[in-house]
């Protein structure tokens, strides 16, 4: 061990490698502080850290732990393992043990494994050689800027371990004072100055955390002395609805509550709804609420957006081409761009443009974006059996819904670097909508890269990372709790465990929780007290008066907002082809009609279909389902829903399978920044309701064990790292108005509860080939559920997105008339082939497959149990 100044250590290292350099020319004036005892090869270790010399060792150790001990290390744990391997400081090993203690077998000698597998000295020497070569090349070419980068990189890391390993609050405040005066109000500046009036030197990470925590607290209050909530939890029940006894007024109140919650909750913190069964005129509106709350919470705020990431002109262009078939010339697009960026006024635009005046207001609307909370997850809580909507009371109702949202509001105010506490920073990028990233510009920050790039961070990452290294029991999430909540369908749980989950997953120690009409206030208070959270409980009328909220909010948004108008509109001049109606009316028992389903449905007789089943294309999920933006996708689905409604008989059911998707909506940005979880289920319900359907229930297709390791939470047992693995898709029961059509033979019905478990179709064989020829086949049991329940023998069953023909085949085998509609020529041919194979037609030759296949009556299997 040595005890020298950082400058001396660098000089000795360079001398050892025969480099003669006046480093004083590149370094700041003398840094005061006491010297620490450091390893003699500390400079070498710093270089190894920056050049990733231990990366291969980390991989070797993690692979060994998985294979030999079934012990998975997540990202945070691997980073800490690397840090320990790089420096071998005892405190880093202690931190590593704390990070993995819930997973570490008691009889495992972890350090022994590390020491045995750490043979990375060769890689470390290679890293040093690379650094020396780079520095020598910069010296040879007299690249003083590059020389400075390399020397500052070493010096900044060294002083954080040496002269600046201990600092005071006063010292940190003084370094930032000139920026603080510009950033904070005089009152807030004085508060921070008084807080930092402490000259006692302590470990730098402790002082930096204290300073940053206080600074963020002042920003969050934003002049308001009341502390905002880390979580708003709202429990919606039948009792609340009965305060209004009017469905639209009830929705108005809840939408007002969403707006209120946005103001109550801190940035990057959470809003959670629990929705129980709520009946209106014999129909359970629980899933309607899911739809309205999910869409409104994400899009209720409307504001101008002038930041460069907003691609307003491109989004307008894509939307207008789809909606009106209009392609604007370049000069008009340039004019529109100036309008959206407020470089010209609306009046100037109207004077200069040649675009028809009827489009002007809609063009202007693209100056603004819709935003709000971000949809995070939807848990399904399996409950005791409850009644269902009157018409389907034979289907057992088992579920409550838990909707989880996060508030991400762009805040352009500077926040200190989490590593050095400096406010010498610049805006870097926007990793997600609503989240701003910063880059530290302090040349002496200890996490500057080997090329002198600064630490990059956001407020959200600071909050999460700070919690990572709080190893108190109140902050740590026990594995027993994770086991219950690791999937988004939760079968065995109790109210105490639910409260533990929302408190420990979605708040930090010290956060305030606002709960509105919780199930059991005393129990929630006990959970909050045990975990050092503050609880404030309100009745609904206390938080938002029943007599003074804004009426008409539901219609204002869901009928009149530009956001909704961009996808809820009826297209004119849809093609009509009498040939499709002829094919549809033929006497064949099974047929696949080749064509666009919108055109086919527009061409067949109204009120002619007994039942529909489909799994539509998911937005931009496959090569055959690509749209330029979410507006266009939603409108295409809406047009099809309208024609489906017209084609179905009164009281007929459309059984619709869809799941959420992770993608870019392409309605604000077109980069990776826009990727998010899109609640397609919520939008699907809204589209069907607008087309005239009623929703009777959502049959949840529970897929059991997830195929991903997302529930392994990246090796982290602290708040906000936990996300459940998605384990279900929706199977909505939509009904055309009229008396519900049911199977008269009740013994045939297999749909008896609204959570059903069956395995997805695994299309990829051992050799990697697609065994089904289709990228998204669905199981035969899916159409079987609905056909057995909502149709009778001889019923016409249509699948508008037929794919490989599964629905038509199942319908035919069940004694119904199966009709598929398929546009893709490859899938059309595939479905004909599968019909031949499954119903034993002809010799199986694809070339001899007729355009429409007729099934002999004796090959129609009317016993359901015989073919599944």
Residues 359 and 311 in one domain: yes
For residue 846, is it within any domain? yes
Q: Which of 477, 543, 474 is nearest to 514 (CA)?
A: 543
Q: What is the DSSP letter of 507?
A: -
CB atoms within 10 A of CB 40: 11
Residues 175 and 322 in one domain: no
**pLDDT below 50 — which residues of the chain?**
708-712, 762-771, 774, 842-868
Q: Which of 456, 464, 465, 406 is nearest to 436 (CA)?
A: 456
Residues 683 and 802 in one domain: yes
Task: Provide the pLDDT for residue 841.
Answer: 55
Query: Residue 618 is part of a domain; what is its CATH number?
Result: 3.40.50.150
Task: Provide the pLDDT for residue 850.
Answer: 38
Residues 744 and 854 in one domain: yes
Residues 821 and 743 in one domain: yes
- 3-state DSSP call for residue 1? coil
Tokens of 293: 């709350």
CA atoms within 13 A on the CB side of 763: 10
For residue 803, is it within any domain? yes
Asked if 757 contacts 704 with a C-beta cutoff of 8 angstroms, the reply is yes
- Per the structure, the count of domains in the chain is 5
Asked if 621 contacts 749 with a C-beta cutoff of 8 angstroms, the reply is no
For residue 707, is it within any domain? no
Last residue of a domain, one of 564, 597, 613: 564
Separation between Cα atoms, residue 604 and residue 542, nearest integer Å: 55
Last residue of a domain, one of 116, 143, 161: 161
For residue 724, is it within any domain? no
**Which alpha helices (H) appear in 354-413, and where do they start and end?**
360-365
Task: Provide the pLDDT for residue 777.
Answer: 66
Task: Provide the pLDDT for residue 80.
Answer: 93
For residue 526, is it within any domain? yes
Separation between Cα atoms, residue 146 and residue 290, nearest integer Å: 56
Asked if 432 contacts 673 with a C-beta cutoff of 8 angstroms, the reply is yes
Separation between Cα atoms, residue 43 and residue 40, nearest integer Å: 8
Separation between Cα atoms, residue 762 and residue 772, nearest integer Å: 9
Separation between Cα atoms, residue 309 and residue 227, nearest integer Å: 32
Q: What is the DSSP letter of 220?
A: H
| pTM, entire model | 0.91
Asked if 738 contacts 650 with a C-beta cutoff of 8 angstroms, the reply is yes
Residues 181 and 40 in one domain: no
Residues 635 and 607 in one domain: yes
Residues 216 and 273 in one domain: no
CB atoms within 10 A of CB 178: 10
Task: Provide the pLDDT for residue 428.
Answer: 78
Secondary structure tally for the chain: helices H, strands E: 32, 26
For residue 52, is it within any domain? yes
Asked if 866 contacts 847 with a C-beta cutoff of 8 angstroms, the reply is no
For residue 731, is it within any domain? no
CA atoms within 13 A on the CB side of 247: 13
Residues 428 and 518 in one domain: no
Task: Provide the pLDDT for residue 373.
Answer: 97
- 3-state DSSP call for residue 837? helix
Task: Provide the pLDDT for residue 861.
Answer: 32
For residue 721, is it within any domain? no
Separation between Cα atoms, residue 247 and residue 545, nearest integer Å: 18
By CB neighbour count within 10 A (0-12 exposed, 13-18 middle, 19+ buried), where does 747 fall? exposed
Sign of the Cα torsion 675, 679, 684, 686 reads negative
Task: Provide the pLDDT for residue 588.
Answer: 85
Q: What angle do CA 724, 55, 437 make, to 5 degrees?
A: 55
Separation between Cα atoms, residue 615 and residue 596, nearest integer Å: 15
Separation between Cα atoms, residue 155 and residue 10, nearest integer Å: 8
Asked if 497 contacts 505 with a C-beta cutoff of 8 angstroms, the reply is no
Residues 186 and 61 in one domain: no
Q: What angle do CA 823, 766, 828 make, to 5 degrees?
A: 10
Tokens of 782: 């899916």
Q: What is the DSSP letter of 391?
A: G
Q: Which of 815, 759, 813, 816 is nearest to 782 (CA)?
A: 759
Residues 512 and 434 in one domain: no
**736 vs 107, 188, 396, 652, 730, CA distance in Å?**
63, 60, 22, 6, 19
Separation between Cα atoms, residue 70 and residue 103, nearest integer Å: 9
Task: Provide the pLDDT for residue 513.
Answer: 98
Q: Residue with structure tokens 């009556």?
A: 857
Structural domain containing residue 443: 166-226+410-468
Separation between Cα atoms, residue 328 and residue 550, nearest integer Å: 40
Q: How far apart are the first and last CA of the chain?
A: 73
Residues 293 and 311 in one domain: no
Q: What are phi and psi of 299, to 5 degrees?
A: -125, 10
Last residue of a domain, one of 349, 366, 383: 366
């Amino acid at each position: 061990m040595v005890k020298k100044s950082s400058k001396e250590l660098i000089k000795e290292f360079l001398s050892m490698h025969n480099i003669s350099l006046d480093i004083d020319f590149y370094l700041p004036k003398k840094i005061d502080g006491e010297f620490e005892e450091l390893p003699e090869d500390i400079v070498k270790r710093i270089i190894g850290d920056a050049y990733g010399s231990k990366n291969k060792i980390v991989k070797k150790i993690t692979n060994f732990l998985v294979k030999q001990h079934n012990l998975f290390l997540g990202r945070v744990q691997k980073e800490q393992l690397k840090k320990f391997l790089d420096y071998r400081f005892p405190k880093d090993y202690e931190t590593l043990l704390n990070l993995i203690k819930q997973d570490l077998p008691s009889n495992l000698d972890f350090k022994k494994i590390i020491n045995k597998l750490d043979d990375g000295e060769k890689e470390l020497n290679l890293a040093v050689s690379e650094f020396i070569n780079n520095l020598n090349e910069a010296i040879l070419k007299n690249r003083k800027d590059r020389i400075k980068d390399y020397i500052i990189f070493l010096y900044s890391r060294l002083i954080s371990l040496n002269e600046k390993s201990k600092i005071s609050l006063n010292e940190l405040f003084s370094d930032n004072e000139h920026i603080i005066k510009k950033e904070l109000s005089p009152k807030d500046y004085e508060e921070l100055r008084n807080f930092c009036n402490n000259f006692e030197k302590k470990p730098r990470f402790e002082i930096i955390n204290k300073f940053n925590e206080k600074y963020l607290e002042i920003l969050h209050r934003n002049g308001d002395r009341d502390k905002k909530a880390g979580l708003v939890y709202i429990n919606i029940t039948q009792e609340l609805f009965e305060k209004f006894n009017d469905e639209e007024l009830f929705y108005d109140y809840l939408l007002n509550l969403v707006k209120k919650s946005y103001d109550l909750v801190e940035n990057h913190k959470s809003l959670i709804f629990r929705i129980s069964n709520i009946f209106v005129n014999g129909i359970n509106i629980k899933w309607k609420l899911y739809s309205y709350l999910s869409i409104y919470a994400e899009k209720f705020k409307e504001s101008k957006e002038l930041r460069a990431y907003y691609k307003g002109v491109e989004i307008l262009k894509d939307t207008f081409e789809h909606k009106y078939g209009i392609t604007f010339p370049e000069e008009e697009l340039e004019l529109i761009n100036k309008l959206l960026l407020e470089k010209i006024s609306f009046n100037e635009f109207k004077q200069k443009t040649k675009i028809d005046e009827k489009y002007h207001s809609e063009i202007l609307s693209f100056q603004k974006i819709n935003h709000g909370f971000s949809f995070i997850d939807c848990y399904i809580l399996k409950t005791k059996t409850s009644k269902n909507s009157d018409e389907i009371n034979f289907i057992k109702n088992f579920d409550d819904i838990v909707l989880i949202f996060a508030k991400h509001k762009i805040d352009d105010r500077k926040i200190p670097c989490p590593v050095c506490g400096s406010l010498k920073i610049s805006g870097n990028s926007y990793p997600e909508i609503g989240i701003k990233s910063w880059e530290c510009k302090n040349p002496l920050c200890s996490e500057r890269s080997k090329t002198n790039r600064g630490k990059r961070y956001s407020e959200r990452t600071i909050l999460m990372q700070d919690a990572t290294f709080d190893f108190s029991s109140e902050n740590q999430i026990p594995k027993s709790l994770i086991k219950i909540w690791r999937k988004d369908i939760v079968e065995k749980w109790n109210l105490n465990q639910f409260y533990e989950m929302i408190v420990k997953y979605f708040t930090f120690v010290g956060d305030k929780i606002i709960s509105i009409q919780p199930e059991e206030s005393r129990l929630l208070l006990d959970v909050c007290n045990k975990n050092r959270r503050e609880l404030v409980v309100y009745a609904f009328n206390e938080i938002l008066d029943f007599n003074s909220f804004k009426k008409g909010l539901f219609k204002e948004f869901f009928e009149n907002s530009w956001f909704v108008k961009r996808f809820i509109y009826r297209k004119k001049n849809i093609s009509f082809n009498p040939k499709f109606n002829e094919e549809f009316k033929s006497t064949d028992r099974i047929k696949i009609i080749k064509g666009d389903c919108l055109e086919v449905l527009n061409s067949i007789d109204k009120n002619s279909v007994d039942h529909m089943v489909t799994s539509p294309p998911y937005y931009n999920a496959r090569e055959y389902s690509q749209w330029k933006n979410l507006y266009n996708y939603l409108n295409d689905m809406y047009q099809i829903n309208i024609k489906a409604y017209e084609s179905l008989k009164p009281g007929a059911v459309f059984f619709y399978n869809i799941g959420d998707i992770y993608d870019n909506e392409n309605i604000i940005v077109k980069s990776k920044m826009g990727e998010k979880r899109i609640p397609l289920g919520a939008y699907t319900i809204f589209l069907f309701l607008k087309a005239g359907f009623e929703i009777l229930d959502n049959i949840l297709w529970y897929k059991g064990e997830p195929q991903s390791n997302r529930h392994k939470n990246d090796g982290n047992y602290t708040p906000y790292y936990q996300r459940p693995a998605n384990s279900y898709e929706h199977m909505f029961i939509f009904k055309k108005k009229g008396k519900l059509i049911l199977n008269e033979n009740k013994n045939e019905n297999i749909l008896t509860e609204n959570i059903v478990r069956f395995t997805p179709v695994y299309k990829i064989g051992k050799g990697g080939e697609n065994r089904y020829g289709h990228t998204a086949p669905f199981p035969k049991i899916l159409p079987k559920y609905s056909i057995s329940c909502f149709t009778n023998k001889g019923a016409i069953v249509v699948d508008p997105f037929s794919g490989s023909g599964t629905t038509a085949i199942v319908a035919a085998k069940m004694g119904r008339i199966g009709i598929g509609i398929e546009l893709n020529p490859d899938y059309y041919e595939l479905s004909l082939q599968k019909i031949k194979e499954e119903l034993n037609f002809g010799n199986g030759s694809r070339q001899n497959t007729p355009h429409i296949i007729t099934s002999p009556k004796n090959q129609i299997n009317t016993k359901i149990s015989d073919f599944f």
